[in-house]
Amino acid sequence: MALNWSFKEKSGTVTENRDGNEVTFNFYEGNALMIVLHEYEKDGEGYYDLQWFFIGDDHAKNCLGLAKGHDNMFGQDGIARMTIYREHCRQWKKLIDLFTKAFPNIVIEIRNAEPTEK
C-alpha cells in the first residue's frame, strides 16, 4: 500500500526529542492514521522526507508500546509536543488518547486551523 496525503491538509505538527534536541515535523492523515514528514527548502525548491507513519490503531499501539509485547519506538520522553489542526485531522481524539497514554508529559495544543503567517 502506498501512502497518500494532500499537502493542503496539514493535520498538525509533532515535536520529537532526538539526541537532546527538539525537532518539529508536520503530519498528515491521508490514507493512514498519521503520516509524519520533514519538510524543508533547498535552493528554492520544496522537499520532504518521510519520518514515520501509523497505518491505523493497531500499528500505532505497537509503535507506541501500548500493545503487549511491544516497546515504544520513541522511548519514554521521545515526543514532547503536538499541535493538532482539527480542520484536517479527523482522528484527533484518537491521537490524543494514544499519545497521552504513551507520553504522560506531552503537551498537546488543539486548533481549528493552521495559523496564517503575517
Query: Quick check: is 4 in a domain?
Result: no
User: What pLDDT score does 118 carry?
Assistant: 44
Q: In what order do the strands lie in the sheet with 45-54?
A: 45-54, 34-42, 21-28, 12-18, 79-85, 107-111
The range of the structural domain enclosing residue 102 comes to 12-111
Query: Quick check: is 102 in a domain?
Result: yes
Query: Quick check: is 59 in a domain?
Result: yes
DSSP conformation letters of 20-43: TEEEEEEEE-TTSSEEEEEEEEET
Query: Quick check: is 6 in a domain?
Result: no
Total number of domains in the chain: 1
Query: Quick check: is 54 in a domain?
Result: yes
Average pLDDT over residues 24-37: 97
Query: Quick check: is 60 in a domain?
Result: yes
User: What pLDDT score does 113 carry?
Assistant: 79
Residue 70: pLDDT band (50, 70, 90) is very high
Average pLDDT over residues 8-27: 95
Query: Quick check: is 117 in a domain?
Result: no
Residue 20: pLDDT band (50, 70, 90) is confident
Higher-confidence residue of 107 and 76: namely 107
